[in-house]
Structure 1
Amino acid sequence: MFPFTKTMPDESGDCASFSHLPDEIVLQIFSKLIDFKTLCVCKLVSPRFNQIVSQVDTISYNAHPVDHPRFNINTSDSTLPDSTLPKNRVWSLINDIVLKPIHLICSTLFTPIRLPAILLNPVSPSLTHADPVSVYQSESFLSAVKSLHRFTRLKSLRVEVPSSLKGVDNRCLFKWKMNFVNRIDSYVFLSPNLISDTKGVYACRNVYDAEEQEDMVLSRKKWDIGMDCFQDAVLRRWMLLDYINHFPLLEDVSVNDTNKRGRISVSGGRKIAELRIWLNSLSETTQNRIDRPRASVGYVPLLELPVSGYVMKGVFLLLVERDDLPDNNFDSFLNINLNDSEDKKESAYNEAIMEIFRKHRERIKRLS
């Protein structure tokens, strides 16, 4: 046993208690830390620690919000601030895979159709409720990405990024989910007014429902939030693909919303290897190709969830899909693995998605 007495650093700069340990043992100790920021501090102790810490295979990183001008969801006349993005391929891709598809949706989805009263006349989001790249432009985040890339032996990576939404109360009830193999296949946004157990005991209520707004106004707010979350989801997928392309040993990766509103994840060495091959086979023209999307909306007044034991009321659903997919192809939403959920809330939302597509499909109306 090593004495726990005050010691001077040895010539390499390590503490004496660590200098007697083999590198393999020290690596096992550091591998228990997982937290990215803690590991970065450990790397500064000495050249030896720097070399050993860089070999850990599991990291969790939580990116904090930055002090940056944002937009309020209740403000209708906001204008985008002046900002100069780096003129390189990264930001070109963000523009092509995020901003252009969003504008395309806004310009094509709003032809009047026959819908239930609550869903009539949806309002196009102004796209000024959120700043989709503010977190990604911050010096702290860019520095973290640069440091993260030095951990070349990563097998498991979990990143949490704050939402770009501004002015949305944390008590609002909503979650989003994105399905993709190579390209994005579909995105679904779900927002109930109220969640309770089957006995009618209060569980949680949407803050907007507490304001007793008219259903029409509430649906418009949910539409706006859902489209802004779509923007977030696309950016998170872009981050995930970048990690897959950079870390050759990666077997499990997820990019989550800090408030657990949604997550993008891929697990399994084979799936990640196939994605990496697909990425490396793409030409720049193919990478920048925009898949024309289509959108559908639905509203279910009362939704019973037999597995979780909850009841949802006033459930709003937004579905965005690639336009080249077959109509009414909802297989990916019918067989969601509830055991893959991170907590009971996510499991309940996943069950709600399945119940809507199984029993209330007629309530989902395509906007065309």
Structure 2
Amino acid sequence: MDHFDQLPDALILLIFSSVSDVKTLIRCRSVSKRFNSLVSQTESLSLRVDRVISPDSDSDSLFVTFLKVFLKSLQDLLTNTTSKPQTRPQQTQNSPAEILSQFLRIKNLQIELPGGDLNLDKGVTVKWRAEFGKSLTSCVIIGFKSGSTATEEDVDIAGGLKMRVMWTISSLIAASARHFMLKEIVGDHHEMESLLLVDRDGEGTVVMDKEGMRECRLEAAQVSEEEGWGGIRSRTRTRTMVPSVRMRMRHVPRLMLAGGIWVEGATLVVVRANAGGKDDVEDAELALGAFGDGSSREAVLEMLKSRSYMLEMNSF
């Protein structure tokens, strides 16, 4: 007997979880019958998506994909005069949900998209981190314009309230679109405890914990019971609705970071749904924990010293 065959299954599963890369693990299934059976039991996975797959195009952006799905659904509603059996939407062969269906006991999952969703002007940086349950719970957004070549006009544009609100709304739409992508995965894997969706540009992050995923599954079950997978609401929706939120916004017209780097129009927004009695201290703690170390955290620390403004936004 090969010495490797004497290793217990638990140890091999621990190794597989350390490897985590889904594509590598799928290749491991062809090594032996034992590997083939154990790979599907891996609990910690990392899936890198090379392209956002849609039925119509393998190279569309996230927003274009959702737009095409919406237009196709609308066309179907206008052209179909007879009712059809309600069936669950068919997964594309290389969609994240289809790939992950090969794994049966996922507990911790990270998905990486090929790029960010925001179309930003040159020199503009916007980062966001959103936490979700069945809908948005909180979102921290930071934005600024590189100041090395900024003119007085740039400073004025970056500092305008209109621009700051645009950054906020764009980030919330991107976050809700990504959350919508995750709902099918969450519904298929009931043992999952943590889910993280990021992009290679480091622009946006969606986080879901065990309780948030439980909320998401309960809502999906209710919608499915009321309307079915073929219901109009399910077919035409392209993102999760953003609930009514309360936003605490801070703005510093010009800010110097470590290394003598100047940024213009630095903006920090903390968004909460159903905020209740949440105060400035709790918002500051949420902001500090959003971006880890580095220039973004440094900018957050500086902006927390400035005055904050409260805004409210209806659901959309």
Larger Rg: 1
**Letter of the structure 2 residue corresponding to residue 347 of structure 1:** R
SS in 1 for 2:180: helix
Superposition pairs of residues 158-237 of structure 1, within 5 angstroms: 158-161=110-113, 162-166=115-119, 168-169=121-122, 172-193=124-145, 205=146, 210=150, 213-218=153-158, 219=160, 224-237=166-179
Q: Aligned pair 1:361/2:308, yes or no?
A: yes
The separation in 2 between residues aligned to 1:82 and 1:275, in whole angstroms, is: 27
* Unpaired segments ≥5 residues, structure 1: 3-15, 72-78, 93-136, 194-204
The separation in 2 between residues aligned to 1:344 and 1:360, in whole angstroms, is: 23
Superposition pairs of residues 1-368 of structure 1, within 5 angstroms: 18-19=4-5, 21-65=7-51, 68=59, 83=68, 141-142=94-95, 144-161=96-113, 162-166=115-119, 168-169=121-122, 172-193=124-145, 205=146, 210=150, 213-218=153-158, 219=160, 224-267=166-209, 269=210, 271-272=211-212, 274-275=214-215, 278-279=218-219, 282-284=222-224, 290=241, 293=244, 299-302=251-254, 313-317=264-268, 332-336=282-286, 338=288, 341-351=291-301, 355=304, 359-362=306-309
**Letter of the structure 1 residue corresponding to residue 284 of structure 2:** L
The separation in 2 between residues aligned to 1:70 and 1:31, in whole angstroms, is: 30
The separation in 2 between residues aligned to 1:80 and 1:26, in whole angstroms, is: 39
Q: For 1:324-354, what per-residue CA distance to the aligned partner results, in whole angstroms no more than 9, with x for missing partners? A: 766996565233274674433453355456x
CA positional deviation for 1:214: 3.6
SS in 2 for 1:283: helix
**Letter of the structure 1 residue corresponding to residue 143 of structure 2:** S
The separation in 2 between residues aligned to 1:300 and 1:257, in whole angstroms, is: 27
CA positional deviation for 1:212: 6.1
* Unpaired segments ≥5 residues, structure 2: 53-57, 78-89, 228-232, 235-239
CA positional deviation for 1:37: 1.3
SS in 2 for 1:55: coil
- The TM-score with structure 1 as length reference comes to 0.57
SS in 2 for 1:150: coil
CA positional deviation for 1:39: 0.9
CA positional deviation for 1:55: 0.8
CA positional deviation for 1:259: 1.9
Evaluate the alpha carbon distance shift between residue 153 and residue 140 of structure 1 in structure 2; reply closer, same or farther with a 3 A threshold.
same
Residues 281-290 or 330-339, more deviating: 281-290
The separation in 1 between residues aligned to 2:189 and 2:245, in whole angstroms, is: 33
User: Does the 8 Å CA contact 1:154/1:249 hold for their aligned counterparts?
Assistant: yes
User: Does the 8 Å CA contact 2:246/2:275 hold for their aligned counterparts?
Assistant: no
SS in 1 for 2:15: helix
